[in-house]
Amino acid sequence: MSDLGFPPTAETLDGVSTVEVRTSASAALIPTIRAVASDLAARADFDLDAISDLRMAVDEACATLVDVAAPKSMLRCTFLVQAEHIEVQAEVLAGQADAAVSTDTFGWRVLQTLADDVQALRAPGTAEIGPTVGIRLHKHAGEPSR
């Protein structure tokens, strides 16, 4: 499940801490993923508002993807933790060939507000694997004094 070309290969990561969480694509497991997001941001010295924003952004991204995921499929969420900055990519196998992340929803607008940058991703299926949809987002650490 790496159709969307993420994470980069080990050679290009250059010491960036990478954490990958894979769960059943079920809304009931999203609390676990957002807890990981919150923990990583806290350890990376994000300010309290930025921790809250990342936790909510990751929740939103995962909830959006679980909605379009194929039955019995997995949700993969990868965190690249850098100084002052965390990049997250979440992806699922799509349930429908034409599935895409809806970007005209209240949830997507909230996601755009919470993250410093957010993109919807999709990759067409191949003979071996179905179509993949994903969301990539960036969040900066914010003001350390806050």
Footprint on this chain of another protein (rule: CB under 8 A)? 24-32, 34, 48-49, 52-53, 55-56, 59-60, 63, 66-72, 95, 106-107, 110-111, 113-114
Residue with Cβ nearer another protein (70 or 123) = 70
Smaller CB separation from another protein, 4 or 61? 61
User: Min. distance of Cβ 8 from another protein in angstroms?
Assistant: 30
Which are the contacts of 128, defined by CB distance < 8 A and separation ≥ 6?
none
Residue type at 70 in one-letter notation: A
For the chain, how many residues are written? Answer: 146
Rounded least distance, CB 111 to another protein, Å: 7
Phi-psi region of 102 (alpha: psi -120 to 50; beta: other; left: phi over 0): beta
Q: At 134, list the tokens.
A: 């994903």
Structure tokens at 128: 């071996």
Q: How far is the CB of 21 from another protein (least distance, A)?
A: 12
